[in-house]
Structure formats: structure tokens, C-alpha cells
Chain A
Amino acid sequence: MEIPYTDKARPDTGLYNAKVGIWLFLASEIMLFGALFSSYILLRVQAPLGDWPAMRLGWPHGLLNIPIGTFNTAVLITSSVTVVMAWASLKMGKLAAFRRYMVVTLVCAFGFLGVKSYEYNEKFTHYELRLKSGEVYTGHLAVNGKHPGFWSLSDIWNLDRLNKEKVATVEFVADPKKESHGAKHAEASHEHVTLKPKVADIAHLDAFIPRNHPFFAIYFTITALHGLHVLGGALVMGYFAFPGSRMWKTKPEQFTNRIEVVGLFWHFVDLVWIFLFPVVYLL
């Protein structure tokens, strides 16, 4: 028994099975990310007026690193181009060129994830500090003289934990104060002030992590889910670039189709980022 239209297009629809399947799957993915973007909108719209951090639950502006985000956008767009080139190489029957383009795509994918994990680490080690006197700072924390390591989640502190572990004072390197609002840093006061607040004087202390603020919650959720999609796509492409390319010898047409399908998925992942970048970085 053989299933029809696995490699050739059905004449009346003009599509082979997997292409119909991937478009349907992408439709469901749009609903998934659509729901998350809608949640973002709703959370943002109902946030109290005024910017975070001055306003505890206000919405932050220009918090994320725009140059890095721009770089990552460029990386993903490049990878979208190369995955098309890989597919086109197969269409022209050039397996070696296909593999070269796939390797570039993979490098882009893992480059993107690497940059993202650096960005994540920046947030894990960055803190919001609110003193009982009403002063508000953002900055970096050292507890018992120890600075946090890369992606060391056990180094994340909040007020509860400080109290529980009976820490009396912490060292806090405050960020330079921002100009009124927006992404512009004040040119003049570019100095880092080191504070040594008593834990008893702290009203709120937490890192830039999901539990701290709805913005971080939705930012981490969407970008992590997107990151998982990047990882999944990269694994599948890695498989097709090397062990899976055996199929080229036996069923070249179906193999080319598979690359087209994975390419469509990859464009979708790219497209999600193209929406994500302006929404969380720029707006």
C-alpha cells in the first residue's frame, strides 16, 4: 500500500500532502502565537499609567537592548534566505551546495539562540530595588560579596529569600538614571552608584524575571516559546543536512519537498520574530 501524493502534487489542488499539512499546522501556530500576542496587548492595556520602574506595575519602555535585538533580527532574516537557497540548490540537483547553505542556516539558528541566552542572562542578573523610603533603582546585586554567574538561577534573590537566609545588607550597583522616558540614556550622569541598603529598608527586590512583573512574564513566555521553535527547527534541519540526506539518493523529489516544508516552518519562526521584535523591543 502506498499513500498517494507524498511526492507529486495532486492535480486539482496543485499541492503534495506535506505542504497542505504544514500550512494547516502553521495556521494553528498563528492561533497559538496570536493568543499570546493578544494576552500581551491585554496586559499592557490594563497596566496602570506611568512607566515602570517609577510606577511599580506600569509598563516598561525601552528596557530591552535594541541593537542586540536588531542584530538577531538580521541573523534570522539571513537564515530565511539561506534556507531558500538550500532548497533551490536541491532543485538544481546540487547536494554539496545544499549542505553548505544548511550549515549557514544552522549557524544562524544557534547564533540567534546564543545571543538570546546572553540577553536572558542580562535579565536574570538585573534587579529592581524599591526602598521603603520610596526611592527606586534598577541595577546589579551582590549578596555576601558574591556576584551571580552566567545563567546561575540559584543566584537569583528576592526579598523573601534575603529574609529567609538572614542577610542583613546587600551591595547594589545602581544603573545611571534615565532621561525622562524612552530608550535614551542620559549623557551627563553616566556613573554607576553603589548602594549598600539594609535588607530591613527594602520594600521590594527582585530580578527581571517572570514573577517580578507581567511584562517579564509575557516577554519570557513568548520569547522562550519562540526559542523552542527555533531549536526544534534547527534540530530538524540539522537532521536533514546530515543523516537525513541519505534520502536524496533514493527519493530525491520527496527529500526536496521535505526541505521545502521545513523551510516554510522556518519562515514562520522568522515571521513570529519579526512581529515580536517591534512589539517587545520597540513599542
Chain B
Amino acid sequence: MAAWFTKNRTTLAIGLAVLVAAYVFYYAKHDIAPSMYGAAWGYAIPLVLAALVGVIGERSGVVNIGIEGQMLLAAFAGFFGAAYSGSMIVGILAGVGTGLIAGGFLALTTVRWRMDQIIAGVVLNIIATGITSFYLKSGEILPGVIPNVDVPYLSEIPLLGETFFGGRSAIALVAIAAAVIVHLALFHTRWGLRTRAAGEYPSAADTAGINVERLRIVNVTIAGSLAGLAGLYLSMDASASFERGITAGRGFLALAIMIMGAWRPLRALVMALFFGFINAVASQLQQTGGFNVPPQLTGTLPYVATLIVLAVAAGRVRGPAAAGQPYVKKDQ
């Protein structure tokens, strides 16, 4: 335990400082702070889920640039599935299922047939844009809502509890749980050890008797369900409507968040929150209009922040060594 504290002291120190600052701001500006935190988390939810898709993929050795397309397809399938069937459950299953299928597509093309991973991702994105624009129908409405959950006791904690557990969508709770579970799975289970080995040095995994190809296919496919959840959160929860290009680049942002989070699920969660908060600050600046800044400029704030963080992070964090490389056995 002591060793763990020593090893993570920088992370812990930064985390504590941020937490203190967050509480100071919370009590000092109690009129706007709670809503800003709420908005930040609301913006971060799909990013957390999507970043986890990226983390699982790259940790197993597959670069997933098609998260955007996976989300878009799932948002589409979820929304219209629910609208036509008249059941939210059917919509959710359709969304998650579509995410799985899109993940399976990416897994098979890149791992089994060794298509270039970037190209396969781009293809997925283009297909998603095409399908969702072509079959789009306006005027459909959802038969219900995804329930909000008020976690007893936890939701009464100031700031943290309010933001994360006070009347939040069920998907938000799933996102937190997913980040924790993926973290534990990656670093404390047999699956995680094998997955990381496949992403770092696949031939070592192979010679240890691990089926690298199968592991990668399964991981990328299963991760697709999280992309599905991220997508249907956008069309069925955050907005209750499907619009053309509803994902608005969040799938790519998620990849940036994955890198900022050093390919670690919990850090990705924190980075998504950071990004959401910058976004909330930007919209707050627009609303209050205290500064004479054009809204187009304040709107770029999150992206500028991302660039800065990525520039600082570059060279400090190191991704899985074999991400992006198909694994070819010796005699093939």
C-alpha cells in the first residue's frame, strides 16, 4: 500500500489539488458552480464511454479510429429502434447491438483480414455517415425516457455526490461503473494481463500460448457495446432526437482523451471530466457575456485546452507498443 502511494504520488497530489480547487469554486460561486459541474459531467459521459472503447482497443493492439462511426450508427439504431417499436428497451438493445456489430466489423477486417486499421476505421465512419444520413426521417419521437437514478445517501454529498449520483441518467452510472470495471479488469485480471501483452508484444503472448488474434477480435467487438451506449446516450438521453452528424466529432475527441489519460481507464474518466469542465466554462462565458469575446472564440476553448494538454502529455506518456500493427505469425 505504501509502495502504491509512493508510485502514484504525483497523480495523487494533482488529483487532491484539483479536488480542493473544485470545492473552493463550488462554495465560492455557489450560484453557477453546481450547474457548471452538472454540464461538465453531462458532456463527459459519452466521452468516457468512447474513450474506454479506444483504451480497450489499443491495449489489445488495435487502433480504433472508427469510434465516431460506431457511436453514430448506434445513436441512429437506438433512436429509430425505440421510435418504431415503441419500446425504449428495444431501442437500447438495438443501439448496443449495433455498437457490437460495428465493433465486430472493425475487428474482423483489421485482425482477421489484416486491413489497415486506420483505413478500416475511416471506412466505418464513412459508412456510418452515409447510412444515417440516407435513412434519416424527421418527426419521429421517442416512446419514453431513459430513467434518471437518484442514488440514496451518495447523492447527498456536496459536489461529488450531487454531480455524479443526484438524478443522473442510468447511462451515466454505467459510464462510471465501466471505467472502474475496465480499470480493474485491465490491471488485476488474467484477461487484462493477456490483453496488455497482446497490445505491447504480441509475439510474447503468442509464444506463451495465448491466441492473440482471438483475444483482439473479442476485445474490439465487446468494446463496441460501450461505443453503442455512448451513441444512444446522445440520441436517446441527452437530446431525445436524432440529427445528422449528432456525434459531432466526439469519437475523435475520445481518442485524444484516451491519450491524455495515458491509456488508463480512470485517468481517461478524469480527462473527460476536465474536457467537459472546460466546455462548461466556455458556455458560461458565452451566457454571462461579461467579456467581450465572440462566441466562436470561446467555443474553441476546449479544443485549445486539448491541444495544450496533448502537447504537454506527448513524450511523457507511452502507448501500447504494438497498437496499430497486425500480428502476423512466423510462417504466414
**Same complex:** no
